[in-house]
Amino acid sequence: MKPIHLNLASRPYEDKRLFITTVVGISIVVAALLFSNIDTYLRYRVQTETTRTKIQEVDAQAEQERRRTEVLKQQLSRIDVTALAKQTNFINQQLAQRAFSWSELLDRLEGVLADDVRLTSVAPSFRDDGTVFLSLNLEAKSADGLVNMLHRFGRDPHFANAFPRSDTQTPSGSYMISLSVDFKPDSIKTTGAKR
């Protein structure tokens, strides 16, 4: 005999546990993703607000620097560069004259002058490269004094470009020689060696 099963339910029984478990699991995942999105959004807002503030500060500093640059450009445009260059050149020449060693020049000239030649005057002109252009007036006992002096200047490495300007005989029989020559002080050689 077959047992009798009575079904008193108004509807047939459906097992919805799997469906409910799935819905709850999906809801938990959706809630976690929503929380993550909200957290990411809030962090993004805070960070972008901080970044916007920094950008505004940097933009303000850049604008201040642009204004300062404009002011400096206007100030620089008012400077007379030509006059400033002339003043600088004059000051550099004054410094070169003060730094010039007369004792070195006179020692070098003493080593170059022949026994029968006497130095009567020296007029230096200072150049930007550190060399000194010398205008010399000499008195020689013989007519060969000019040629002799040109040879002597040519052999000494401290002198260059010796060039005669005049050679005249005096009533006493001596010769007045006027020549120009470039003088290279030791300070130029030392500076050139360091480079």
Q: What is the mean pLDDT of the chain?
A: 84
Query: Domain spans of the chain?
Result: 17-79, 101-194
Stretch among 56-60, 71-75, 91-95 having the lowest mean pLDDT:
91-95
> What SS3 class is residue 144?
coil
Mean pLDDT throughout 133-144?
85
Mean pLDDT of 45-74: 91
Q: How far apart are CA 98 and CA 85, in angstroms?
A: 20
Q: What is the pTM of this model?
A: 0.48
Phi, psi values for residue 140, rounded to 5°? -115, 150
Residue appearing with tokens 């004259």: 97
What integer is the mean pLDDT of 58-69?
94
pLDDT, tens digit, for every residue of 80-113?
888 888 888 778 777 766 767 778 888 888 888 8
The phi, psi pair for 106, rounded to 5°, reads -65, -35
CA distances (Å), origin 17, targets 9, 11, 22, 56, 184: 18, 17, 8, 57, 108
Structure confidence at residue 195 (pLDDT): 33
Model pLDDT, residue 188? 62
Annotate 66-128 with DSSP letters as a single string: HHHHHHHHHHHHTS-HHHHHHHHHHHHHHHHHHH--HHHHHHHHHHHS-TTEEEEEEEEEE-T
**What is the fold, at CATH topology level, of the domain defined by 101-194?**
Alpha-Beta Plaits (3.30.70)
